[in-house]
């Protein structure tokens, strides 16, 4: 096979298939900053050096690394699966064996075989999460286009294996070959998606690449964008908004733990699971996401009306920039209005930069002071004072809304049982009004 994947970037100078560590403990210590665990292990066969026989070894996957223990030795052989192409392998003269091939550097390949079908499917499911595959048309058929962006289209696709429908983000390879910046962005997006294993984040399954296109496969949701649901409903009750925010904040807390910044959080990138439920969501579209360790403050991205002021100013930013965008999402959910309205791009960005959202009637007349205070603390201009996901989840307003079993969508201050807290909220609210009048 001489296919060279544009998604794979391997900077290794020595083109050896396997890397070596003296012990498994050395492997863990040298490859992982945080404690890491084996996600999958088992005994099966691989081709011997002379490619004439299959020998049994103890294999494992830790993170994105695939490796094995040598027989009668503590030495470990391994490599990063994100640098490999995965293909199915049919062993000769064996109808009861199941196999796969891993290819590196376009030409070097290793074949692996196991006897148990259930074990094979478990390994294949894990391997395809990290590797690149090349036979999209053999696995899926295109059903219809459901979305379009600047560099990609989204299609509804049907699996030929289980008959289920999925979503495929399709990117033309030609554009990536001409732009190193775009090529790196897609590689980063793929690396981020491979780490996205969380209930309220859109589930990624696998990626395919051929000479013309790249296909990233995700779960298919039927509920549409939260943006369209807000347009239909006009606004959400405080309790409904809190239910949405809990899922969103938990996703942002997960991203923070993984050292990932979304950088384009907005209503359009929050998907609803079904048409029947207005509150069950998934965070999606990590096309502008990056890892904190790779973050360049000179790169300013996001959508006007949601962008944190530190990003607009070209200052260093971190995961709390996503909290600002989450605050803008909550603002819209509660009021049905954007926090920074304007007729032109310049007008919207100017108000976004000044970071002074208004809480005027009639849009905010029936929203509690606690909710307004919560929005303000999420959208404060100083990111050092902005709530973290953990702090937001533990806020009095969130707890009160989520603990209420039957809370009316419009309620007044007589329902609040903490006079001291109300005084603090009123004081913060008056400060906001005072700043706005200056």
Active site residues: 264
Q: What is the DSSP letter of 432?
A: H
Q: What angle do CA 8, 11, 14 make, to 5 degrees?
A: 115
324 with 252: CB under 8 angstroms? no
285 Rama class: left (phi>0) / alpha (psi -120 to 50) / beta: left
Q: What is the DSSP letter of 385?
A: T
Question: Nearest CA to 280 among 186, 202, 397?
Answer: 202
**Long-range contacts from 279-282, C-beta under 8 angstroms, 24+ separation:** 279/240, 279/243, 279/244, 279/247, 280/223, 280/247, 281/200, 281/226, 281/244, 281/247, 281/248, 282/200, 282/201, 282/202, 282/203, 282/219, 282/221
Q: Is 165 helix (H, G, I), strand (E, B) or coil?
A: strand
Which two three-digit tokens encode residue 160? 């030929």
Q: What counts of helices (H) and strands (E) characterise the chain?
A: 14, 18
- What Cα–Cα distance (Å) separates residue 275 from each residue in 32, 48, 229, 236? 42, 54, 9, 16
């Amino acid at each position: 096979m001489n296919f060279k994947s544009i998604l794979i970037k391997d900077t290794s100078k020595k083109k050896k298939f396997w890397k070596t560590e003296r012990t498994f403990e050395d492997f863990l210590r040298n490859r992982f900053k945080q404690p890491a665990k084996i996600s999958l292990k088992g005994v099966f066969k691989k081709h011997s050096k002379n490619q004439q026989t299959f020998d049994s070894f103890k294999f494992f996957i830790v993170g994105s690394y695939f490796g094995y223990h040598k027989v009668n030795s503590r030495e470990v052989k391994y490599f990063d699966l994100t640098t490999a192409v995965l293909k199915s392998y049919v062993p000769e003269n064996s109808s009861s064996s199941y196999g796969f091939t891993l290819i590196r550097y376009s030409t070097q390949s290793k074949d692996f075989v196991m006897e148990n079908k259930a074990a094979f499917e478990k390994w294949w499911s894990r391997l395809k999460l990290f590797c690149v595959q090349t036979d999209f048309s053999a696995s899926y058929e295109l059903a219809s286009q459901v979305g379009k962006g600047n560099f990609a289209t989204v299609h509804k696709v049907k699996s030929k294996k289980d008959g289920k429908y999925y979503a495929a983000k399709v990117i033309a390879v030609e554009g990536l070959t001409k732009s190193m910046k775009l090529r790196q962005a897609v590689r980063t997006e793929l690396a981020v998606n491979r780490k996205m294993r969380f209930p309220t984040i859109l589930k990624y399954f696998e990626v395919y690449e051929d000479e013309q296109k790249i296909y990233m496969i995700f779960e298919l949701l039927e509920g549409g964008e939260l943006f369209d649901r807000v347009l239909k409903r006009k606004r959400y009750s405080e309790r409904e908004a809190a239910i949405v925010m809990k899922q969103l904040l938990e996703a942002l807390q997960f991203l923070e733990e993984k050292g990932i910044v979304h950088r384009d959080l907005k209503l359009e990138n929050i998907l609803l699971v079904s048409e029947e439920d207005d509150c069950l969501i998934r965070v999606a579209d990590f096309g502008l996401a990056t890892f904190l360790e790779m973050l360049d403050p000179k790169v300013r991205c996001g959508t006007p009306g949601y962008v944190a002021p530190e990003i607009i100013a070209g200052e260093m930013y971190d995961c709390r920039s996503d909290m600002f965008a989450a605050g803008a999402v909550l603002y819209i959910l509660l009021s049905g209005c954007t926090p920074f309205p304007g007729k032109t791009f310049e007008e919207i960005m100017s108000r976004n930069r000044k970071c002074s959202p208004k809480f005027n009637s009639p849009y905010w007349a029936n929203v509690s002071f606690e909710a307004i205070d919560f929005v303000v603390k999420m959208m404060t201009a100083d990111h050092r004072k902005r709530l973290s996901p953990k702090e937001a989840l533990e806020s009095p307003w969130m707890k009160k809304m989520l603990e209420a079993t039957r809370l009316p969508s419009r309620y007044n201050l007589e329902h609040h049982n903490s006079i001291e807290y109300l005084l603090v909220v009123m004081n913060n609210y008056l400060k906001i009004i005072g700043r706005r009048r200056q």
